[in-house]
Copies of this chain bind each other. A is one copy, B any other.
Amino acid sequence: MQRIINEPSLVVEDMLKGFERCHKDIIHIDDDNPRVVISNFAKDKKKVGIVTGGGSGHKPAFVGYCGKGMVDAVAVGEIFSSPTAKSFYDCIRAVDQGMGVACLYGNYAGDNMNVKMAMELAEDDDIQVKVVVANDDVASAPKEDIKKRRGVAGEVLMWKVGGAKAEQGATLDEVIRATQKAIDNTRSVGVGLGPCTIPANGKPNFAIAEGTMEFGIGHHGEPGIRIEKLASATEIAKEMVSLVVEDLPFTNGDEVVALVSGLGATPVMEQYIFFDEVAKNLDSLGISVYKSYVGNYFTSLEMNGVTLTLMKVDDELKECMDAEVETMGLTQLRRT
C-alpha cells in the first residue's frame, strides 16, 4: 500500500488536523466534537443553517464544501461510513440561528438513520430541521424505485443551490423547495476503471480487470449495472450521456449545469477529453450547457474513473449556481 499516512486507523483524525490548519481562514473544528467542521462565516448574518455530512475519502466532499455561500457545518464520518447521529446533531446546533436548519445529504442507510436520530434530538431543542436527500445516481436503482437511488456528485450542485438560497435570506421552506428542485432536476452516473484501497484494510475493496470498465459503479465500489470492454472516451461519453439524459429526461431546448468529476486517480487531462465528448453529445441533442465544472469534485480515494452529472436549470437555479462561494473545493467570484 503506497500511502503517505501515519496510523491507518487515524487517517481521518490526522487529515482533519491538516485541513483545519490549512483552511483556518474559512473553517474551524468544533471545540467539543472533533468530527464537526464549521464555517467561519456560518453566523455572519441571520439565515437558515446548511448542514451536511458523510463518510471520509471523497475529498473535496464533504468538508471541502464548508465555507462562505455553501455548507455551514459538516459531520465527518470514518472512511466511506456515516458520521454519528451526535455529529449531525452537533452540526445542527452549531448553525441554527432560529430560522431552522436544512440538512442536505446523500441517500445511504447509515446517513438516513443518523440524520433521523439527530433530528429527534434537535426537536427536543425546538430547532426546526428539514432535509433534502440526494438520489441522483441513475444506476443505483430503476426509475420506479427512485427513492432508493444513492446520492453521488449531484450533491455538490445541491449544496451550491441550498447554500446560495440560504445566503439570499430565504426561509427554511424556500431553501428546501429550491434544493429539492435542484436534486429532482439532477441525474448522475459513474464509470470505474480501477479500484481504491481503504487504508485500514490495506487491500483494494473491489476489482476491475485490466481492459474493462464498470458502468454505474458507486462511490464506495458498489456494483454497477454492467461490465464492458474498455472503450474510447467518445464511446464512454455517449453511453453515459444517454443513461443520464434519458432518465430525467433532459430534452431539446433544456439548459443544464454539467459536472464531470474524476474519482481520484484519473488525470484531469482525461476529464477534459471526456467532457468535450459529453458536450458534443449534448449539442447534438439540443441541450445547452449553461455552466460546467470539470475536476476532482467528489472522489473515492484513488479510484480510477469519472462521474457525469447534469442538472436542468431555470432562472432560480442559475442565480444560485452563479453566486459567490468560497470553500476549499469550490471558489467562485461574483460576476460583475
Contact A22 B57 (CB under 8 A): no
Expressed in whole angstroms, the Cα–Cα distance for A15 and B279 within the complex equals: 13
Chain B residues whose C-beta falls within 8 Å of the C-beta of A15 in the assembled complex: 269-270, 272-273
CA distance A302 to B193 in the complex (A): 13
**Chain B nearest Cβ from A259, distance in angstroms:** 10
Copies in the complex: 2
Q: A324: nearest residue on chain B (CB-CB)? A: B333
CB-CB under 8 A from A194, the residues of chain B are 2
Q: Mark A8-37, 1 if CB is under 8 A from B, else 0.
A: 000100111111011000000000000000
Q: Which of A268-312 contact B (CB under 8 A)?
A: 268-277, 279, 289, 292-296, 299, 301-302, 304, 306
Given contacts A2-B304, A59-B267, A299-B267, contact A276 B331 (CB under 8 A): no
Please tell me if A230 contacts chain B, counting CB pairs below 8 Å. Answer: yes
How far apart sit A279 and B296, CA to CA, in the bound complex (Å)? 25
**With contact pairs A18-B273, A301-B267 given, residues A2 and B230 touching in the complex (Cβ less than 8 Å):** yes
A12-B131 Cα distance, complex, nearest whole Å: 43
Which residue from chain B places its CB closest to the CB of A293 in the assembled complex? B22
Assembled-state Cα–Cα distance A122/B332 (Å): 36
Q: How far is the CA of A279 from the CA of B271 in the complex (A)?
A: 32
Picked from B18, B56, B210, B276, the residue with its CB within 8 Å of the CB of A274 is: B18
Judge whether A264 is part of the interface by a CB distance below 8 angstroms. Answer: yes
Is the beta-carbon distance between B232 and A6 smaller than 8 angstroms?
yes
Bound Cα distance A319, B194 (Å): 43
Contact A270 B22 (CB under 8 A): no
Chain B residues positioned under 8 Å from A210 (CB to CB):
2
CA distance A295 to B294 in the complex (A): 15
List of B residues within 8 angstroms of A128 by Cβ: none
Asked if A247 is an interface residue, CB under 8 A from chain B, the answer is no
A184: chain B residues within 8 A (beta carbon): none
Judge whether B296 and A5 touch: CB under 8 Å. Answer: no
Contact indicator A267/B264 (Cβ below 8 Å): yes
**From residue 178 to 200 of chain A, which have CB atoms closer than 8 A to chain B?**
191, 193-194
Rounded to whole Å, the gap between the CB of A320 and the closest CB of chain B is: 17
- CB of A4 closer than 8 Å to a CB of B: yes
Let me know if A302 and B333 touch, CB within 8 A: no
The 4 closest A-B pairs by CB, nearest first: A18-B276, A18-B272, A265-B265, A2-B193
